[in-house]
Structure 1
Amino acid sequence: MRREVVVSLLVLCFIGSDVVQKGEGIWLNVPPSKNKCVSEEIQNNVVVLADYVVVYDDPAHVTPTISVKVTSPYGNDLHHKENATHGQFAFTAHEAGNYLACFWVDGSNPGGGDVSVNLEWRTGIAAKDWESVARKEKIEGVELELRKLEGAVEAIHENLLYLRTREAEMRTVSETTNGRVAWWSIMSLGVCIVVSALQLWHLKRFFQKKKLI
């Protein structure tokens, strides 16, 4: 019985570690005269950690440099760096919505073509430094994996609550829109009826003056 429990825990830890360590690696080809942006919808109080680096394999030329700007859903600057070949940005989301990271090539681009940028974007539990947690709390092995699994479960629960809140907001907006459309339809029908009645009244008076009726 104990052996089965241990095996089950190890399976759960393995699955949990896959979920926790999952990050989003993005490969961008930035044109010389255009911006290339990526965005992600993030809820409140979520930690975001990202690393970016210019990938350039031509040793005969100097590595091109890029500029990076990260903004919140309300347009606040969270990270801005120029003339960079690599860098990192980290922040805690205080606004729910789409966070935007834009990259563009600045003046230093000897090759003149597209610049390749590798971006590793991690959010929530995937951005947590588990090595520091393990050293601080002196945990390792199965206990550490269980802690990661617990963090993954909490993150999933928070995401479900966030989706539930968004669904309620969308339902409220939909009901409000349906109500406005219904009132608009009723008003339009009423205006059409009034206009038709006025037209009939005007035509009746016109024919009476002409003594046609």
Structure 2
Amino acid sequence: MKNMKRSCGIWEVFSFLLLLASWPRRLSALSVTVTDTECVYDFVQFDGDIVSGNFVVVDHDIFWGSDHPGLDLTISSPAGNTVHSIHGSSGEKFEFKALKAGMYKFCFHNPKSIPETVSFYIHVGHIPNEHDLAKDEHLNPVNVKIAELREALESVTAEQKYLKARELRHRRTNESTRRRIIGYTITEYIVLAAASFLQVLFIRRLFSKTVAYNRI
């Protein structure tokens, strides 16, 4: 009997994990190069789904300073209404409730019109309700728990991707800063060497004129 109970328990855990793995997931991770305006589309299947994500500028052709305006992100509903917007940022998280199912548009705008590479992550979360669950009263709580656990795991995944993208941005910024410092240092040495050489030539020419004048 103990072996049978243990086998049943293992089978229940296996079935739970199988259901968790096979549950439909909606997520997207991509890289977008934004020169002026670039848009990405994602379909939300159910009313009331939670759409979350993040973006980080991981590579850029110019050195970002305090006066850089950052990128703008505008999210539009299938009807064309703005449901969420972010202005002047180099990286941020977002989350909103999709009141209507359909195709949502995520548009980046770059005021500087200089290519910026953006790491972009979208996740459409769905918690089943009484309308899309089976009628079996024992199945409803299981499906809800599976969906909640799946969303918790996706939240951890999204946070990891966000932190990884920010770490990549910081590393590339440090490398870019290091290259610029080396370039400025080399340029400074070249300018100093050229100035010293010109000073030597000027002094030698001055002495030559003085010697020639004394001979006369």
- Give the TM-score, by structure 1 length: 0.50
- Give the TM-score, by structure 2 length: 0.49
